[in-house]
Chains A and B, each alone.
Chain A
Amino acid sequence: MSCHLSLCGLASAIVCLACDPRVCADQPGRATALPERLSETGLFANVAQQRLGSRVFAYTPSYALWSDGADKRRWVYVPAGEQVDTRDPDAWQFPEGTKLWKEFSHDGVRLETRLLQKVGPGSADWSAVAYVWGVDQKDAVKAPYGAVNALGTAHDVPASGECFACHDGRANRVLGFSAIQLARRTYDDSVGLDAEGSAIVLSEALPTLDVPGIQSQRAALGYLHANCSHCHNQSGSAAAAGKCLDPNQSLSFELDFSLRSDALLSVGTTATYRTAVGRVIERGKPQDSKLVQLMAGRGAFRQMPPIGTEQVDELGLRALRDWIGAL
């Protein structure tokens, strides 16, 4: 009896080691070709003055990824003579040499700036690495293994291999710089990329794409798109990329047309509504909705997203509770 129990316990431990979905493979070499310092990446012509480099443009997605309350700034660069092919609104194609940066700061102190750079012609040919800012804030140094508690804050900097735990969920590996995130809205004058940047970087003008529903519905659908859909989508890219996290892909929180042309016509036709309501979203019962429970939890196997956050997004949670409560 005891022997039987013991052997089962040992077997469970070994299985646990073998199947933990949070295990990401290292991606040796992906980051080695990137510059050692942020000042060498072309983001700034002058770091001290924060003057942007040539053909570098700031952009802001409509719906942001929650990063434990960090303040974020983002920039894009495409090489001269090249543009992002935006003919397919769900799958923009990026030329080799494209760079996207995202800066994280707390209370005005820059902590890290991440670089995602297209290093080859294939859709998977991207390198990613984070640069950790020094205490003097004069420059940031490449940190391929990431860093814990950067500059004495609670902010953790991901290892380069971890970047693709999320970015491999998109066929083009880019999150936040897409038609649905930057588009014009009929209900909102703002756009995510200014006219000059749009003209230089994009092959076509930004489209007008409305997220369906009233404001509270749009807030919830957009939040889920930005925070969940890079893993939970049905476009097939995540599985094809062999990403380390193993999301339930029968769920999709993606705002796109890739599977159905009517996906953005109404709330009821969105992927979120079709795949999640009745399963992880209980109409009128946010407290019984698994989605809310996981968003409100923290700790291994009891939080979503499973990586990249240690604090609950209370504002985002409230938006989802409001929406689900009104369903």
Chain B
Amino acid sequence: MTWRARCTGGLLAWAFTLCPIGAHAEPLAAPAYPSRPWHVELDSRFGTSTSPYPTTAFPEVSGYALLFNLNAEFAFTPQLKAGARWPLVLARLEQPAGALYAEAAWGNPELNLTFERPLGAPGELRLRGGTRLAVGLPLAEDDTRASQLEGRALALANALEGFGEPELYTPGVLPITPAALLELDYRRWQFAASLKLPLLPRVSDANLPVDSPKRPLGFVPVLELRARLRLFDWLALGAAPRLTMRAVAPVDDGSPPLQLLAIGQIEFRFGPTLQLAALFQAPVGGPLGGSTFAGGLRLDASF
């Protein structure tokens, strides 16, 4: 669709003004404020995408969207945390003739429990591991009073995340997401690897196009590797490739299963409790490479 090039240019200009390097869906490293049990994060993305869309008349969905994700987490102990995520999508969906259609959609709210603990500290290295179990509520749906084609806003949001947040943006499923995290600190460097294994059992077809090939159970593993360099106390840079494998896509769009997402970010810390990150992320190769770009801001506060 021809308008996309213009929008992409504007987005890139906007994104690069904000962030010399870009972004990612979860904190590259959650600020460690053990004395402050509450951690609240407002995560946003703004991007454009043309993504596969599994219906006969519409092989793709195109448009731009602003995603908000409100995350809150409470640390019962330094090892045990409970949290919630609540995503919102404000989308402008391109219609066939080129007009746009405004649509809002909730994602699946998520409740999660995280257990983390140190694994060792040989020399200057510090190693930490963790596991997480998240359960989503199957509430993701478009504004059905005005929806022209069900699920398009959510499909756009899922594409902006490189298909890497299926538990948030897949309608009609009850997501159960176990995950594991390994972190390594060395001086100013931090490296991390995370693997999440979202299981997406279908509980409803209500918010999907009638002719879309739905599956009763989706399985979409997501592997993310992260590197972060703290240049100053107030400034850090990060990068993270994220590989998503739609082993069993919840809705089969016929596209290749692997999708790599390149993420970069710059973080600014304002005192001990407040941090702002500017992000840029773009899929590389796969079904979304070259057609999807997003920038974003993430504000972290602890208290």
Contacts and interface: CB of A to CB of B under 8 A. Distances in A.
B6 A301 contact: yes
Given A14-B66, A23-B92, A300-B7, A162 B17 contact: no
Interface in A162-184: 162, 165
A149 to B, nearest CB: 7
B102 interface: yes
A116 interface: no
A299 B1 CA distance: 8
B57 A147 contact: yes
Given A5-B17, A17-B90, A298-B2, A145 B99 contact: no
A6 B297 contact: yes
Contact of B18 (A5, A28, A157, A308): A5
A12 interface: yes
B232 interface: no
Tell me which of A3, A9, A306 has the highest count of chain B C-beta atoms within 10 A of its own C-beta. A9
A162 B99 contact: yes
Given A9-B297, A13-B46, A24-B100, A162 B57 contact: no
Among all A-B residue pairs, the 9 with the closest Cβ atoms: A300-B3, A307-B98, A146-B96, A158-B97, A156-B96, A147-B57, A300-B6, A24-B99, A13-B46
Interface string A1-36: 011011001101110110010111110100000000
Tell me which of A5, A10, A12, A165 has the highest count of chain B C-beta atoms within 10 A of its own C-beta. A10
Contacts of B95: 24, 146, 158-159, 161-162
Contact of B2 (A157, A162, A300): A300
A302 B146 CA distance: 29
6 contacts: A6-B276, A9-B17, A13-B46, A159-B95, A162-B99, A310-B1
- Chain B interface size range: 35 or more
A10 B97 contact: no
B96 A23 contact: no
A135 interface: no
Given A2-B276, A3-B276, A6-B278, A23 B60 contact: no
A268 B65 CA distance: 46
B181 to A, nearest CB: 27
Contact of A20 (B46, B60, B100): B100
